[in-house]
Structure formats: structure tokens, C-alpha cells
Amino acid sequence: MKKTILPIAFAFATILSSCTSDDDTPSVVIENTSNLAVAVASYGGTTPDALLAVDNFVEDEVSPIGNGIQQPGGIRRLYYQVGKTIISSSYGDGGTVIGYRFVDGTLTEIGELAPDSAYRILSKADNTTLIAIEGAKNGLEDRVFNVIDTENMSITKKVSTPIEEIADENLISWPSGIIVRDDKLFLSYFLVTNDNFTTPKSNEARVAIYNYPELTLDKIIRDTRAADIGIYGNFNGLVTTEDDDIYTYSSSSYASGYNPVPTLNSSILRIKNNETDFDSDYYFDFETISGGNKINFMHYAGNNKIVVRMVTDDSGLWATYAPTTDAPVCKVAVVDLIAKTVTEVPEIPLHGGQWATPTVNYNDKVYMNISDSNGAYIYEIDPVTATAIKSPRTISTQVRGLFNVN
Amino acid sequence: MKLTPHLNIKSKLLLCCFISSIAVMTSQNNRIKGCVTDKQGKEVVGAHVTIIGFQETNITDYNGCFSFLKPKQKNYTLKVSYLGYENYIQELNSEEIKTLDIQLVEEATALTGVVIQGKSKAEKQREQAYAINVIKTDIYKNSNIDVNQVLNQVPGIIVRKEGGLGSSFDLSLNGLSGNQVRIFIDGIPMNYFGSSLSLNNFPTNVIESIEVYKGVVPIHLPADALGGAINIITNKNKKNYLDLTYSLGSFNTHIASINGQHYNKENGFTMNLKSFYNYSDNDYKIDVFIPLSDGRIPSEKTTVKRFHDAYTSKMVQLELGVTQKKYADELLFGFLFSDNYKELQNKPLPDKVIFPFGEVHERNESYISTLKYKKKQLIKNVDISSFIAFINAQKKYIDNSDFKYDWFGNTTNIVPSTTGEYYRKTDLTLNQKNIISNINLQYHLYQNQLLTFNLSSNYYRIKGNDPLSEQNLIQFGNPSTTNKYVAGLSYSFNNFNKKLNNTFFVKGYDYKINGIETDPTGINTKTVERKEDYLGLGMASTFRFTKHAQIKLSFEKAIRFPENLEILGNGIEILTHINLKPETSYNLNIGYRIKKYFQNDNQLHFETNLFYRNAENYIYVRPELVFKTYDNLENVLTKGIESEIQYTFLKKYVIGINATYLDIREKSEFLPATFIPNTYYNSRIPNIPYLFGNVNFRLNFNNLLQKNDKFSITSLQQYVHEYSLYFDEIAEEDLRRIPTQFSQNIEFTYTDKKEKYNLSFAVNNLFDSNLTDNFNLQKPGINFNFKLRYHISK
């Protein structure tokens, strides 16, 4: 009972104080001390997202109704976190990229920039440096690295490169993941036809290695044991461990946009600490070990474990890009990269995939959006036990960003 | 132009029907016929025509015409009388066979104490049972005001423009817009005329009146309109005249028109010409955020001049034929050519930063041939009105610049590049062919009953080519066609001494599309045919309970079929949605209208209309996988009220006020294409103005410089209440509101006593306000227009 009296008393006090003061009384701001935030998409996708501070991810209902900061709408946005800065970036040309930080417990805009064309992938070099790449979907055009100082959201450097281009076959590179390790930038990419986005030459894993911060090409490493790395619209082709080992995944999934489907199994490769080549001793045949599933997304959970979103039915082209689907094909598993085991998380049902899947580590748990045509939920996944807890249904069609700014 | 349409059997039948109807002629030598006009050549409707000494009185119809049996005697006297005009008396000889052309002269004496209640044609139209607004555009003939501005003053309508002369616009009528509202010119659907002829360039000079049908559309306007129709009626003047105008305005704007008509009373030969030319640089100033060299957006905006927004359009229409013959009231062959060139300065709906284009442009041209035939009393009690139109239109859209422009005109060469300024480089040519035909038969039954049948067919074919874009080649490389047939039958009758007037109608729609369905890779294509029939119905009823006041009630179950693009997609970005349902709307209007005449020439006009639009399967664009698709939204419900009051003092001073309030709500139970309960159920549909109105003043003075000259001052004020770009429930603060707008235009017009020379001077956006109809798309600041019009007629 006491618990209910307090908020009522507080509400009365708020009303009274707002009645007695003349005008322009600022509404009482309850400072956020958790430094957690969520970005949610509303309605059919043409309405704006909202970025809002939350106390927790799975206990209370996440709702953008009268809550949070309106994002520019009309086109989907990409979210990312660089150190203390939350990045919100337009996926359409002519949009802007906004940086937010918690200032005195309140999410506050710290700067906004206008790129020449939309950023297709966001990643970080360090806690104040965002690496973003512009890339036209059509035509034989250079990709443009943008190095951005997240202290004031300014572009400090631009480097133009095709990454890899096969002009007579109309093939261009689409970046799918970036890891900066010491003085090297590792960029995974896949080759697509520039007018219809087919993938006729994907039976090879490729990573371009650049010298950092010069952004000059060092070399491109290739491996024919696995297919092209990463998938369209996600930034997670590469992950790095506490030991600075880099792991890559090859999806080989029609439902994740590979058309035609590579003949090689969906699998994981490694680039070891201090090495700049694929580790020829390491090959993880995910597809066989998981019993026929394909990797759609991976996230590093710590202690050589990753959380994987996997495709259970690969029959529909692009089918994993349907966060509100009524025919879900994705499941979640915890994968041990060393022991090469795949453990399905039983609490998470079949669900739709999404663009730029949001995941975040917080208090040794991994948080992730799980959605389908019945609604969008945040799941708290324990990578040790491979179990999960479900949040109340969020007031959204999908959670687009999960941030732990601690 | 080539007239080799791909006619199917139905259109052939219709064509045969059309031709044979012309061939059927009746001999009516034993009748006296004629038409009555006023000094301006306007039809006088409702004038009494009698032969002195006989009982029978004939009343002129909507065209101001009459026809009755000749008396047996050889010489007789015809008398035409109409309130406010001098009686017209003519001696006639029954052996003379001719059509009378009678012009009435206004009574010179001041009719103090006598109230003039002659009703104009427009007034008669307004009294129809339909929810209709009729705008007589003659007061705009000397004015700089364009059609969109005229429509903006109609309650229930709001026209949102992106910028200056020729810019894209969106017309919303009682909350429905785009293809949901159909626009006609003289009953011919305008959306098939091609982009070169549109409400944003059609000059008011050639327009006699504009009819706005709200929600319920009579069957003589044949199209699948969901939310009403606008019919532009061009001049039907029966006199010889020549009308020249030229106007010069800010931003290097030139607008000219030449219109004229030759009519031979003896043989009925009629020739009329309508033409216009519009040009503007549209280089008005706007405030924009210009990113710094490191990409950051500064906190202050910079004022820049638009530099790539020029617009040119022109049109020539020539009609030849005969009017007022015994075999035809009107038989006219027409040929129309129009074209335009339009530069695009920026994306249509930018967010915060507007990146300028320097070379993107489009060109449109249309060639239209028409044949019109009208005859009252074709056979006993049957009137016919029909047309056939052949339209060839071409649209070119070009975005192939190797340069990137900034707001100061600086360029950066970006060769080699496949990206244009807007999107991928494009050099698109679209060829559209369209055949529209319509036949309308009216059968006058016993005791003021009227049976009307209308049949229209609309064949549309589009094919395109683009050497630079695979996507456009996939979408338009193969022709896609649409066939629409709309048949309507209506029955009208009067009761209680014509106090109650009713119309009931049914409309049958038959619809067929043929096209190519493509998978997202553009590799696999297959032919698609979709065919459907629907039935719509409606009614309109009005009751005149006093001489001045009437109530109106109208209802329609309206249907709109998806267009080709909506069903077939564009091959890459927009997916095929073969099962997209037609949108339907249940439209209801209840109106009250009063027009009262007082002493001293004071007049009061008041009208209010309550409307209800329940739209189901509302068509909208929804993201799907990595693409987009047109889909049906379960339910959108609109309730609204609009009112208009106009008071005229001493025939000289007019004040008009109107206001519209729309309550347009999302009524879908679940979020689109999901089972997620819709949090926005009952939310106001965003990005639609919902509270707006106008206040107009007009002061007329006579004898300023010479006797009987005219001088007038018109002041137009528009108010649009702020509204949200998005559902305003989302987030703490709505950062993208379109602010409350108040615009003010003033115009001075002078006409000499012979009405030959007319001058006008207009100041638009008098307070130089930052006006915008769309988020972050600024319209011109204060600007000026000077117009000269020369008119002779006899």
C-alpha cells in the first residue's frame, strides 16, 4: 500500500506546484541513473522512431507515447553506440546523423551532421571515433570511409575506395562489418550485382585489411572454406574477443539476401590475435553442428561465447528482414566458439529478423529485440545457461536500438 | 499524331454508338428555338418566353435555351422577360426558319425597394441536392489568382503547394486527396491529360466556373472517385470575342493568354481558341541549413536564392464545329497541344537539410483530340451529350548530371558516376496513350422525372524507355494497360411543388489491368491480368422549406480502383501487390443553405455542411522486407464540418468567411499488417491540415476615372492551423510540426467603362511571412503581380 501512496502524493505535489507557479514551469524531470536507452520504431515504418531513456530493459513496458526524443522519420534509421555517444543515422540520402549523450541523466543531443550520402554501416575505432561508410546501392561507385569525432559529431577524414570491384560483372562491394585492432582496420564485405543485388560470386570469404588511421589498403584476405561474410543491413560480420581474436560468420542464407545461395555451408572463421590472415586451423561448420540452421546475425557475449540469430527455414528470399512477419523463421542460440557447440535458447520463439539488429551487453546478460506480427519484445539472454527472460510487450513494431551507456 | 488506338470490342461498340447517335437527326422545322444571354454573353436561365396572346410559357433551360411549337398564324410577337432585365420583344414571321439569339439588357433604373431574385446558372447548380460548391470565376478574370488559389477558398478544400509557379501540389477535399479526388475539365477526367495540363497552370481566364462535388459524385462525371470530384467548366460563351492577357510578376514570372471565339449566327459555324503561356524562374529566397565543411549542421540558417526551379508551360486548344443547329446544339472537333518544362530544385519532402539539385528536370507534352456532340430533344424527351478524346502524352524525367551543386552554385565534378543528383542516373521517357469516351442520355419523363444513363470507357496504356536505368526498363519496358468502364443510371424526381428534389443512382464499374509482374531481382517476369466488377450506389435529396432555405442530404458508397503502379509495383523498389483491394468509402453529407435577398441590394448567403467519410481498405505505402508495397489500411474515419457565410452590401461590398474542421482518425484495430494492437487507434491522421479557413473582402467602386468604370479591391486571408507531420503521440516533443500559417494577399483591379481594358495589381504574402504547406519547404515571400487584360466582344 505504501508503495502506491508515495507516487500519488508525488503526483499531487507536482500538480499543486504546477498550479501555483505562473507559467513555463519545467515539468519535473526524473533523472535517469541507469544510463540505459532504447530506440523503438512505431507503426508501419513511415512514422518517426523515438529514442528514450529507460530504467531497465525487461521489467517495465517500453513506450514512446509521450516519451523520448522524436527521430527524423519517413525512412528507417540505423543506431549505434560509440563509447558514451548514441548515434542515430538516416538510411536514406539527404538525411542526417545525430549524436546523443546522457547529460545529468537526460538524453541530450550533442551534435548533428549531414553526410554527402547515407551511411550504410556504422562502427567504431575507439570510444570517440565513429567509422561510417557511404555506399551507393547502384552503379560502380566508390565506398567512402567517414571518420567522425563523436565529441562534436564532425567528419575529420574521408577516404574513397571501391574496396573490391569487378566492373565487367557489375559487382560491387557491400560492407558488412568493421573491427579496428591496433593499427589495422578489418572490413568484411560481400560482392553484389550493382543493379539487382544478386550474389553470383559469393563462394568465398573476404576481409579487406586497411592501415589505420591512414585508411590505405594493406591487403585483401580470402578463404574458400566459407562464403561471403555478413549480410545486408547489419554491421556484425566480424566480432572480436577479449584476446583480440576476430571471428567472422558466413551466412550462405537465401532468407538473408544471398541469391543465388552459395554452395558452402554457413560457418565461422577466425583471424587470430596478431595475425592478418584467416586461421587455417579453425573452421566451425555451424550449419552442420546446428542441424541445418544458418547464421543471420552474431553478437559477442564474452568468454568466447556469441549469441546467434539463426535461420531455420531458408526458403523465402529476404525473409529475415521482416520484423513484423506472420511467418517467422528465426531462432536464437548461444554458441561456444572454442568448444564449437550450439545451444538453442528455448524461451525465445520463432521470430522475424531485422535490419541492424540491436543487441547490448549489460550485467553479464545480452539484450536483444525479438519481434513478429504479435509484437516486439526485449529478451534478456543469459549466455552461460542459454536461457532467456521476456519483457512486457513494447509499444512498438520493433526495437531498433539498445544502449548501455555505462 | 497517330490515332491507332488498341480498341477492344467494348470501345468499338461505344464508338459506333457515338457515331450513330450523331447520325440520328430529327426534323424540328415546326419549332421556335433560341437562346437567351445577358450582356456578358452568359446564359440567362429561367427567363420566361411567351408569345403574346397565347397561354403557353416556356422557361429557358440551363443553357439559357428554349424551344416550342410555332403558332399557326403567320405573324406573331415573342416576349422574353426576366427579373432585373428589360423585356425583350420581337416580331416574327413563321416562314423564317432560324434560331433566335436574344440578348437581354439590364434594367437601367435603380430598382429601389425591388428585390432581384433571378438565379444564375451557378446558383441553380448550388441548389442541386449534391454537396456542391460552384465558384463563378468571372470575378477572377482580371485577377492574378490561379485555379489552386480559387479552390483554396472553397470550404473543405486545402491545396498544399511545394513552392512557386508550376510546383507540385496536393489537393485535399474533406480529408481525401491524390487519386481519391478526381479532377475533370468539361467532364473529361484530367488525370489522363498528362502532367503538362494541371490545376497549377490552367488559367482562370478560360474558365467559366468550377464545380466541387464533395463525397458524392453525379454519374455524368464518370470516374472511380473515392472522395469527390472537381469539374472545371470552360467558357461556353456564345459570342464573338477576343481576350488577351499578360501578367508580369516577381521572380521573372510571365503569364500570357490568348482566347477568342468566332460564331456565325447564320450557319452556326463556331471556332474557338484557348491558349496560355506561363514562365517563371521561381528564384525566391529560402532559409536553409548549410552543412559546414566537416559535415556539422550549424545552428543558424542561411538565406539563399533558389536557382534551379524554373517552369515553363504552354497550351493551345482549337475547337471547330457548329453550334445551335437543328441537328446539334454543339458539334465540335477539338485539338489541344500542351507542354511544360520543369526544373527540380530539391527532393519533394526534405527533412532538415535541403541538398540542392542543379540539373534535374522533367518535360511533358500532350496531344489531345476531342469530338463533342450535344443535342437536346434528340428524339422526343431525350437529350444526348457525348464526347470522345484521344490523348497521346509523353513524359521525360532526366537526372544525369555529373556534378554536385551547392546553394551558392558551386559544382563538384563527380565523374565517373552512376548516381545522379536525386537517385541513380535516369533518362526516362514514358509514352502514354489514352482513349476516353462518354455518352450521356437524359430521358425526361412525365411530371419532372428525369432518367439519366451514362456510359464511359477509359483505355490507358503506358510504356517507357530508359537507357540509364535498369529499374525503369523493367517497370516500363513492357506496356501495361488499364481498361475502366463506368456505367451509371440515375433517376430524379420532384415532389411537393418542386420543394423536394431527389436523385438516386447506381454506378457499375468494370475494371481490367494488364501488366508485368517482376520479382525483386527483376529477372523473373510474368504477365498479370486482373479483372473486377463493382457496384456503387448513392442518393442526393434536397428540401426547400422556404423560398430561401434548403436542406441537403447526400450519400454514396464510392470505390476507387488501384492504379497500375499500386498493383504491379515498379519491378525493384515497389513490390507487386496483386491482391491489393480497391478502396471504398461511405460518404455522407448533410447540408443547410440559405440565400436571402434584402432591400438595398443586400444579400446573405450561408451554407454549412456536415460530412462523414468512412474509408475502408485505404491505400497507402508500407515498407515490406527491404522494399515497399502499396497496401490496404483497414479503416480511416473522417467527420467534419464546413461553413461559409457571405454578405453583400449594396451590391458593392462583399465579405466572405469560411472555415473547415476535420476530425480524421485512424480506426484500424491492429498496426498495419500485424496483430499488434494499434496504440494509435483513434489518433488523428498526421500531415493533413484539419482546421483552416478564409476571410475575403471585396470592395467595388464605380465612376472612378470615367463614368461607369469599375475599381475593386480584393483582400484574401487564409488561416491554416498548425498540424503534425507524424502521429504527435510519439515522443515527448513533436519536433516536426507545420506551424500555424496566416497568409494575406491583396489585389487592386480597374476596368474601363467598355470593359475593354482591365488592369490589376496584386501583392501576395503581404507580410512576407515564412509560409510553408509542407514540412521544411518554404514558399515565396512577398511578391507582386501586374496583369493587363484586353477584351472585346460583340
Per-residue b/e over B626-654, b at no fewer than 16 CB within 10 Å? bbbbbbbbebbbbbbbbbbebbbeeeeeb
> What per-residue confidence (pLDDT) applies to A31?
60
The predicted-structure confidence for B273-291, as pLDDT tens digits, reads as follows: 999 999 999 999 999 999 9
> What per-residue confidence (pLDDT) applies to B758?
94
User: What number of CA atoms fall less than 13 Å from residue B218's CA on the CB side?
Assistant: 25
> What per-residue confidence (pLDDT) applies to B21?
40
The predicted-structure confidence for B661-672, as pLDDT tens digits, reads as follows: 999 999 999 988
Residue A154, all three cell numbers: 564532425
> What per-residue confidence (pLDDT) applies to A30?
54
> What per-residue confidence (pLDDT) applies to B520?
62
Q: Which residues 501-530 of chain B have a CB within 8 Å of chain A? A: 520-523
The answer to whether A68 contacts B680, with C-beta atoms less than 8 Å apart, is: no
Q: Fill in the DSSP letter of residue B179.
A: G
- Greater confidence, B25 or A257? A257
B415–chain A Cβ distance below 8 A for any pair: no
Average pLDDT over residues A11-35: 50
pLDDT band at A10 (very low <50, low <70, confident <90, very high): very low
Determine the Cα–Cα distance for residues B32 and B68; give it in Å rounded to an integer.
5
- Greater confidence, A137 or B725? B725
Determine the Cα–Cα distance for residues A189 and A173; give it in Å rounded to an integer.
6
- Greater confidence, B741 or A92? B741
The predicted-structure confidence for B183-233, as pLDDT tens digits, reads as follows: 998 888 887 676 778 888 888 888 889 999 998 999 999 888 898 999 999
The answer to whether A140 contacts B418, with C-beta atoms less than 8 Å apart, is: yes
> What per-residue confidence (pLDDT) applies to B123?
73
Please provide residue B558's backbone torsions phi and psi, each rounded to the nearest 5 degrees.
-105, 150
Across B13-22, B26-35, B507-516, least confident range:
B13-22
> What per-residue confidence (pLDDT) applies to A401?
97
Question: Which of helix, strand or coil describes residue B536?
Answer: strand
Pick among A46, A49, A67, A394 to test the B interface (most B CBs inside 10 A)? A46
Amino acid at A36: L
Pick among B402, B625, B668, B688 to test the A interface (most A CBs inside 10 A)? B625
User: What number of CA atoms fall less than 13 Å from residue B661's CA on the CB side?
Assistant: 5
Closest C-alpha to A94, from B290, B355, B419:
B355
Biggest alpha carbon–alpha carbon distance for chain A = 75
> What per-residue confidence (pLDDT) applies to B20?
41
Average pLDDT over residues B447-453: 89
> What per-residue confidence (pLDDT) applies to B754?
87
A154–chain B Cβ distance below 8 A for any pair: yes
Closest C-alpha to B251, from B794, B782, B792:
B782
For residue B312, the tally of other CB atoms under 10 A from its CB is 18
Grid cell 507516487 is found at A7
Those residues with Cβ within 8 angstroms of residue B68's Cβ, 6 or more apart along the chain or in another chain: B31, B32, B49, B56, B58
Residue A3: pLDDT over 60: no
Per-residue b/e over A60-85, b at no fewer than 16 CB within 10 Å? eebbbbebbbbbbbbbbbbbbbbebb
Residue B375: pLDDT over 50: yes
Mean pLDDT of chain A: 91
Mean pLDDT of chain B: 86
The answer to whether A257 contacts B671, with C-beta atoms less than 8 Å apart, is: no
Residue A327: pLDDT over 90: yes
Per-residue b/e over B241-276, b at no fewer than 16 CB within 10 Å? bebebebebbbebebbbbbbbebeeeebebebbbbb
Average pLDDT over residues A220-248: 97
A166–chain B Cβ distance below 8 A for any pair: no
Identity of the residue in A96, A326, A374 whose CB atom sits nearest the CB atom of B351? A96
Closest C-alpha to B632, from B582, B559, B568, B570:
B582
The neighbouring-strand residues paired with B153 are none
Closest C-alpha to B738, from B150, B162, B149, B151:
B162
A106–chain B Cβ distance below 8 A for any pair: no
**Which H or E run contains B568?**
helix B564-568
The predicted-structure confidence for A266-298, as pLDDT tens digits, reads as follows: 999 999 999 999 999 999 999 999 999 999 999
Taking the alpha carbons of A328, A330, A332, A333 in that order, is the dihedral positive or negative? positive
- A177, A122 Cβ separation under 8 angstroms: no
Q: How far is A71 from chain B (nearest CA, A)?
A: 8
Contacts of A63 in chain B (CB under 8 A): 679
Angle, alpha carbons A31-A36-A41 (nearest 5°): 110
Q: Fill in the DSSP letter of residue B127.
A: T
Contacts of B292 in chain A (CB under 8 A): 154
pLDDT band at B128 (very low <50, low <70, confident <90, very high): confident
**Which H or E run contains B392?**
strand B382-399
> What per-residue confidence (pLDDT) applies to A118?
92
Identity of the residue in B289, B351, B521 whose CB atom sits nearest the CB atom of A72? B351
For residue B563, the tally of other CB atoms under 10 A from its CB is 17
Residue A15: pLDDT over 50: no
Average pLDDT over residues B66-79: 76
Pairing type for strands B741-751 and B48-51 reads unpaired
- B187, B486 Cβ separation under 8 angstroms: no
State what percent of residues in chain A have pLDDT above 90: 84
The predicted-structure confidence for B520-550, as pLDDT tens digits, reads as follows: 666 677 888 889 999 999 999 999 888 889 9
State the count of interchain CB pairs (< 8 A) between A and B: 177
> What per-residue confidence (pLDDT) applies to B55?
66
Determine the Cα–Cα distance for residues B606 and B646; give it in Å rounded to an integer.
6
Determine the Cα–Cα distance for residues B569 and B563; give it in Å rounded to an integer.
10
> Where do the H-state alpha helices sit in B628-757?
none
Q: Which residue of A has its CA nearest to B626?
A: A321
- A269, A205 Cβ separation under 8 angstroms: yes
Distances (CA, A) of B681 to A307, B259, B613, B727: 36, 53, 17, 11
> What per-residue confidence (pLDDT) applies to A32?
67
What secondary structure, in 3-state letters, does chain A show? Answer: CHHHHHHHHHHHHHHHHHHHCCCCCCCCCCCCCCCEEEEEECCCCCCCCEEEEECCCCCCCCCCECCCEECCCCCCEEEEEECCEEEEEECCCCCCEEEEEEECCEEEEEEEECCCCCEEEEEEEECCEEEEEECCCCCCCCEEEEEEECCCCEEEEEEEECCCCEHHHCEEEEEEEEEEECCEEEEEEEEEECCCCCCCCCCCEEEEEEECCCCEEEEEEEECCCCCECCCCCCECEEECCCCCEEEEECCCCCCCCCCCCCCCCEEEEECCCCCCCCCCCCECHHHHCCCCEEEEEEEEECCEEEEEEECCCCCCCHHHCCCCCCCCEEEEEEECCCCEEEECCCCCCEECCCCCCEEEECCEEEEEEEECCEEEEEEEECCCCEEEECCCCCCCEEEEEEECC
Amino acid at B747: E
Please provide residue B205's backbone torsions phi and psi, each rounded to the nearest 5 degrees.
-60, -35
Q: Which residue of A has its CA nearest to B572?
A: A196
> What per-residue confidence (pLDDT) applies to B414?
76
Average pLDDT over residues A319-324: 92
Average pLDDT over residues B568-585: 80
**Which H or E run contains B475?**
helix B470-476
- B543, B551 Cβ separation under 8 angstroms: yes
Distances (CA, A) of B769 to B200, B513, B697, B778, B779: 22, 47, 20, 10, 9
B626–chain A Cβ distance below 8 A for any pair: yes
Contacts of B425 in chain A (CB under 8 A): 139
The answer to whether B297 contacts A69, with C-beta atoms less than 8 Å apart, is: no
The answer to whether A113 contacts B731, with C-beta atoms less than 8 Å apart, is: no
Q: Fill in the DSSP letter of residue B47.
A: -
pLDDT band at A348 (very low <50, low <70, confident <90, very high): very high
Sheet holding A77-82, edge to edge: A77-82, A85-90, A97-103, A106-113
Angle, alpha carbons B508-B61-B223 (nearest 5°): 20
Residue A402: alpha-carbon gap to chain centroid: 9
Contacts of A260 in chain B (CB under 8 A): none
Residue B119: pLDDT over 70: no
Across A320-324, B115-119, B167-171, least confident range:
B115-119
State what percent of residues in chain A have pLDDT above 70: 91
- B428, B353 Cβ separation under 8 angstroms: no
Determine the Cα–Cα distance for residues B365 and B396; give it in Å rounded to an integer.
9
Distances (CA, A) of B260 to A174, B356, B789: 62, 42, 13
Those residues with Cβ within 8 angstroms of residue B51's Cβ, 6 or more apart along the chain or in another chain: B71, B76, B77, B78, B79
Determine the Cα–Cα distance for residues A331 and A345; give it in Å rounded to an integer.
8
Q: Which residue of A has its CA nearest to B728?
A: A66
B297–chain A Cβ distance below 8 A for any pair: yes
- Greater confidence, A156 or B268? A156
Residue A343: alpha-carbon gap to chain centroid: 22
User: What number of CA atoms fall less than 13 Å from residue B162's CA on the CB side?
Assistant: 15
For residue B284, the tally of other CB atoms under 10 A from its CB is 20
Residue A5: pLDDT over 50: no
- Greater confidence, B300 or B625? B300
> What per-residue confidence (pLDDT) applies to B29?
58
ipTM of the prediction greater than 0.95, yes or no: no
Grid cell 444579400 is found at B603
State what percent of residues in chain B have pLDDT above 90: 50
Contacts of B347 in chain A (CB under 8 A): 94
Taking the alpha carbons of A303, A304, A309, A311 in that order, is the dihedral positive or negative? negative
